Copies of this chain bind each other. A is one copy, B any other.
Protein backbone atom coordinates (compact mmCIF):
# COMPACT_ATOMS: atom_id res chain seq x y z
CA UNK A 1 0.00 0.00 0.00
CA UNK A 2 1.28 3.40 -0.91
CA UNK A 3 -0.26 6.76 -0.20
CA UNK A 4 0.84 10.22 -1.06
CA UNK A 5 2.65 11.82 1.86
CA UNK A 6 0.07 14.52 2.45
CA UNK A 7 -2.47 11.79 2.91
CA UNK A 8 -0.54 10.01 5.62
CA UNK A 9 -1.91 11.98 8.54
CA UNK A 10 -5.39 11.96 7.03
CA UNK A 11 -5.17 8.19 6.89
CA UNK A 12 -3.89 8.05 10.45
CA UNK A 13 -6.70 10.29 11.66
CA UNK A 14 -9.29 8.43 9.66
CA UNK A 15 -8.23 4.99 10.76
CA UNK A 16 -8.76 5.99 14.36
CA UNK A 17 -12.48 6.57 13.89
CA UNK A 18 -14.68 4.80 16.38
CA UNK A 19 -16.43 2.79 13.68
CA UNK A 20 -13.20 1.30 12.35
CA UNK A 21 -12.18 0.15 15.80
CA UNK A 22 -14.73 -2.60 15.23
CA UNK A 23 -12.58 -4.09 12.47
CA UNK A 24 -9.99 -6.80 12.88
CA UNK A 25 -6.37 -6.01 11.97
CA UNK A 26 -6.81 -7.76 8.62
CA UNK A 27 -10.01 -5.93 7.85
CA UNK A 28 -8.35 -2.63 8.65
CA UNK A 29 -5.57 -3.38 6.21
CA UNK A 30 -8.11 -4.24 3.53
CA UNK A 31 -9.86 -0.95 4.22
CA UNK A 32 -6.66 1.08 4.06
CA UNK A 33 -5.62 -0.51 0.81
CA UNK A 34 -8.85 0.48 -0.83
CA UNK A 35 -9.78 3.93 0.38
CA UNK A 36 -9.39 7.06 -1.73
CA UNK A 37 -9.14 10.65 -0.47
CA UNK A 38 -10.83 13.45 -2.34
CA UNK A 39 -11.04 17.13 -1.78
CA UNK A 40 -14.10 19.24 -2.54
CA UNK A 41 -14.21 23.01 -2.70
CA UNK A 42 -17.06 25.01 -1.21
CA UNK A 43 -20.40 24.56 -3.01
CA UNK A 44 -19.18 21.58 -5.03
CA UNK A 45 -21.49 18.58 -5.25
CA UNK A 46 -20.14 15.42 -3.64
CA UNK A 47 -22.89 13.25 -5.01
CA UNK A 48 -26.00 14.01 -7.01
CA UNK A 49 -29.65 13.09 -6.66
CA UNK A 50 -30.67 10.17 -8.84
CA UNK A 51 -27.19 8.67 -9.25
CA UNK A 52 -26.03 5.31 -7.99
CA UNK A 53 -23.89 5.26 -4.83
CA UNK A 54 -20.37 4.00 -5.39
CA UNK A 55 -18.75 4.81 -2.07
CA UNK A 56 -19.35 5.12 1.60
CA UNK A 57 -18.09 8.60 2.42
CA UNK A 58 -16.27 9.60 5.57
CA UNK A 59 -15.94 13.32 6.14
CA UNK A 60 -12.39 13.76 7.40
CA UNK A 61 -12.38 17.55 7.30
CA UNK A 62 -15.05 20.11 6.49
CA UNK A 63 -18.84 20.28 6.54
CA UNK A 64 -21.44 18.81 4.19
CA UNK A 65 -25.11 19.49 3.62
CA UNK A 66 -27.55 16.84 2.42
CA UNK A 67 -30.26 18.44 0.31
CA UNK A 68 -33.25 17.29 -1.64
CA UNK A 69 -34.75 19.04 -4.63
CA UNK A 70 -38.35 20.02 -4.14
CA UNK A 71 -40.85 21.78 -6.38
CA UNK A 72 -40.57 25.07 -8.18
CA UNK A 73 -36.82 25.40 -7.71
CA UNK A 74 -36.99 25.07 -3.93
CA UNK A 75 -34.80 22.64 -2.08
CA UNK A 76 -34.81 21.25 1.43
CA UNK A 77 -31.72 20.62 3.55
CA UNK A 78 -32.42 17.25 5.18
CA UNK A 79 -29.33 16.94 7.41
CA UNK A 80 -25.86 18.26 7.89
CA UNK A 81 -22.64 16.38 8.42
CA UNK A 82 -19.53 17.37 10.33
CA UNK A 83 -16.04 15.97 10.23
CA UNK A 84 -15.89 12.58 11.90
CA UNK A 85 -19.29 11.62 10.49
CA UNK A 86 -20.21 9.63 7.40
CA UNK A 87 -22.56 10.30 4.53
CA UNK A 88 -23.86 8.58 1.44
CA UNK A 89 -24.53 5.32 3.24
CA UNK A 90 -28.33 5.54 3.22
CA UNK A 91 -28.81 5.00 -0.52
CA UNK A 92 -25.97 2.53 -0.62
CA UNK A 93 -27.45 0.27 2.07
CA UNK A 94 -30.94 0.63 0.63
CA UNK A 95 -29.52 -0.42 -2.75
CA UNK A 96 -31.22 2.60 -4.31
CA UNK A 97 -30.15 5.66 -6.21
CA UNK A 98 -29.54 8.73 -4.07
CA UNK A 99 -32.74 10.62 -3.26
CA UNK A 100 -30.65 13.56 -2.04
CA UNK A 101 -27.51 15.41 -3.07
CA UNK A 102 -24.51 16.24 -0.91
CA UNK A 103 -22.71 19.57 -1.19
CA UNK A 104 -19.59 20.80 0.59
CA UNK A 105 -20.33 23.84 2.80
CA UNK A 106 -16.63 24.67 3.01
CA UNK A 107 -13.41 23.05 1.73
CA UNK A 108 -13.95 19.41 2.60
CA UNK A 109 -11.81 16.29 2.54
CA UNK A 110 -13.57 12.98 2.19
CA UNK A 111 -12.32 9.45 2.48
CA UNK A 112 -14.19 7.19 0.09
CA UNK A 113 -14.66 3.50 0.77
CA UNK A 114 -15.72 1.64 -2.39
CA UNK A 115 -19.12 -0.05 -2.18
CA UNK A 116 -17.84 -3.57 -2.66
CA UNK A 117 -15.39 -3.12 0.21
CA UNK A 118 -17.98 -1.93 2.71
CA UNK A 119 -20.41 -4.54 1.43
CA UNK A 120 -17.87 -7.26 2.11
CA UNK A 121 -16.97 -5.83 5.52
CA UNK A 122 -20.49 -5.61 6.89
CA UNK A 123 -21.29 -9.13 5.72
CA UNK A 124 -18.29 -10.55 7.52
CA UNK A 125 -18.30 -8.37 10.63
CA UNK A 126 -21.51 -8.45 12.61
CA UNK A 127 -20.41 -5.68 14.96
CA UNK A 128 -19.93 -3.37 12.00
CA UNK A 129 -23.37 -4.29 10.70
CA UNK A 130 -24.87 -3.56 14.12
CA UNK A 131 -23.08 -0.22 14.16
CA UNK A 132 -24.88 0.79 10.97
CA UNK A 133 -28.19 -0.54 12.27
CA UNK A 134 -27.86 1.83 15.20
CA UNK A 135 -26.61 4.73 13.09
CA UNK A 136 -29.52 4.47 10.66
CA UNK A 137 -32.01 4.06 13.50
CA UNK A 138 -30.73 7.25 15.13
CA UNK A 139 -30.86 9.08 11.78
CA UNK A 140 -34.45 8.00 11.25
CA UNK A 141 -35.45 9.25 14.70
CA UNK A 142 -33.84 12.62 14.01
CA UNK A 143 -35.63 12.73 10.69
CA UNK A 144 -39.01 12.14 12.37
CA UNK A 145 -38.40 14.96 14.84
CA UNK A 146 -37.17 17.29 12.08
CA UNK A 147 -40.21 16.56 9.92
CA UNK A 148 -42.69 17.53 12.63
CA UNK A 149 -40.73 20.70 13.34
CA UNK A 150 -40.75 21.64 9.66
CA UNK A 151 -44.43 20.92 9.15
CA UNK A 152 -45.99 22.16 12.36
CA UNK A 153 -43.92 24.99 13.79
CA UNK A 154 -44.32 28.58 12.70
CA UNK A 155 -41.58 30.52 10.98
CA UNK A 156 -39.95 31.80 14.16
CA UNK A 157 -40.03 28.36 15.74
CA UNK A 158 -38.52 26.74 12.67
CA UNK A 159 -35.70 29.27 12.43
CA UNK A 160 -34.99 28.93 16.17
CA UNK A 161 -34.92 25.15 15.69
CA UNK A 162 -32.43 25.47 12.84
CA UNK A 163 -30.12 27.74 14.82
CA UNK A 164 -30.21 25.36 17.77
CA UNK A 165 -29.62 22.41 15.45
CA UNK A 166 -26.55 24.12 13.98
CA UNK A 167 -25.34 24.90 17.48
CA UNK A 168 -25.74 21.31 18.63
CA UNK A 169 -24.03 20.01 15.49
CA UNK A 170 -21.13 22.44 15.04
CA UNK A 171 -20.90 24.21 18.39
CA UNK A 172 -19.54 27.66 19.10
CA UNK A 173 -16.32 29.26 17.95
CA UNK A 174 -13.71 29.96 20.65
CA UNK A 175 -15.56 33.15 21.69
CA UNK A 176 -18.35 30.94 23.04
CA UNK A 177 -21.06 32.83 21.15
CA UNK A 178 -20.55 32.63 17.40
CA UNK A 179 -21.99 29.62 15.57
CA UNK A 180 -19.16 27.60 14.10
CA UNK A 181 -20.69 27.43 10.62
CA UNK A 182 -21.38 30.01 8.01
CA UNK A 183 -24.39 29.61 5.76
CA UNK A 184 -26.11 31.96 3.34
CA UNK A 185 -29.60 33.11 4.25
CA UNK A 186 -30.81 30.94 1.41
CA UNK A 187 -29.25 27.84 3.01
CA UNK A 188 -30.77 28.81 6.34
CA UNK A 189 -34.13 29.13 4.58
CA UNK A 190 -33.74 25.73 2.93
CA UNK A 191 -32.90 24.20 6.28
CA UNK A 192 -35.94 25.81 7.90
CA UNK A 193 -38.53 25.31 5.15
CA UNK A 194 -39.16 28.94 4.36
CA UNK A 195 -38.41 31.40 1.58
CA UNK A 196 -35.12 33.28 1.57
CA UNK A 197 -36.99 36.54 2.22
CA UNK A 198 -38.56 35.09 5.33
CA UNK A 199 -35.24 33.75 6.61
CA UNK A 200 -33.68 37.19 6.16
CA UNK A 201 -36.62 38.99 7.73
CA UNK A 202 -37.01 36.63 10.68
CA UNK A 203 -33.30 36.56 11.43
CA UNK A 204 -33.15 40.34 11.45
CA UNK A 205 -36.18 40.36 13.77
CA UNK A 206 -34.22 38.08 16.11
CA UNK A 207 -31.35 40.57 15.89
CA UNK A 208 -33.69 43.49 16.70
CA UNK A 209 -34.90 41.53 19.72
CA UNK A 210 -31.25 41.01 20.80
CA UNK A 211 -31.65 37.22 20.60
CA UNK A 212 -28.84 36.99 18.04
CA UNK A 213 -26.24 39.33 16.65
CA UNK A 214 -25.56 39.29 12.91
CA UNK A 215 -22.17 39.87 11.36
CA UNK A 216 -22.68 38.96 7.74
CA UNK A 217 -22.95 35.19 7.62
CA UNK A 218 -21.63 34.79 11.12
CA UNK A 219 -24.34 34.51 13.74
CA UNK A 220 -23.75 35.15 17.42
CA UNK A 221 -26.31 33.59 19.73
CA UNK A 222 -26.89 36.06 22.53
CA UNK A 223 -29.90 34.45 24.19
CA UNK A 224 -29.86 30.68 23.80
CA UNK A 225 -32.57 30.47 26.46
CA UNK A 226 -34.98 32.68 24.49
CA UNK A 227 -34.22 30.72 21.33
CA UNK A 228 -35.14 27.49 23.12
CA UNK A 229 -38.36 29.03 24.33
CA UNK A 230 -39.30 30.10 20.79
CA UNK A 231 -38.40 26.67 19.42
CA UNK A 232 -40.36 24.93 22.13
CA UNK A 233 -43.52 26.95 21.66
CA UNK A 234 -43.49 26.17 17.94
Q: Which residues of A contact B (CB under 8 A)?
A: 68-72, 74, 76, 78, 89-96, 99-100, 122-127, 129-130, 132-134, 136-141, 143-148, 150-153, 157, 193, 233-234
CB distance from A19 to the nearest CB of B (A): 13
What are 17 A-B pairs with beta-carbon distances under 8 A? A68-B147, A71-B233, A72-B152, A72-B234, A76-B151, A78-B144, A90-B140, A91-B137, A93-B134, A96-B138, A96-B141, A99-B144, A122-B130, A129-B129, A129-B133, A146-B147, A151-B193
Contacts of A139 in B (CB 8 A): 140
Q: Are A93 and B123 in contact (CB under 8 A)?
A: no
CB distance from A153 to the nearest CB of B (A): 6
In the A-B complex, the 4 residue pairs with the smallest Cβ-Cβ separation, listed nearest first, are A71-B234, A129-B129, A94-B137, A93-B137
Contacts of A152 in B (CB 8 A): 70-72, 74, 76, 193
Contacts of A70 in B (CB 8 A): 148, 151-152, 234
Instruction: Tell me the complex Cα distance, A155–B193, Å.
Output: 16
Contacts of A129 in B (CB 8 A): 122, 126, 129-130, 133
| With contact pairs A100-B144, A143-B144 given, residues A133 and B93 touching in the complex (Cβ less than 8 Å) | yes
CB distance from A25 to the nearest CB of B (A): 19
Instruction: Tell me the complex Cα distance, A153–B150, Å.
Output: 13
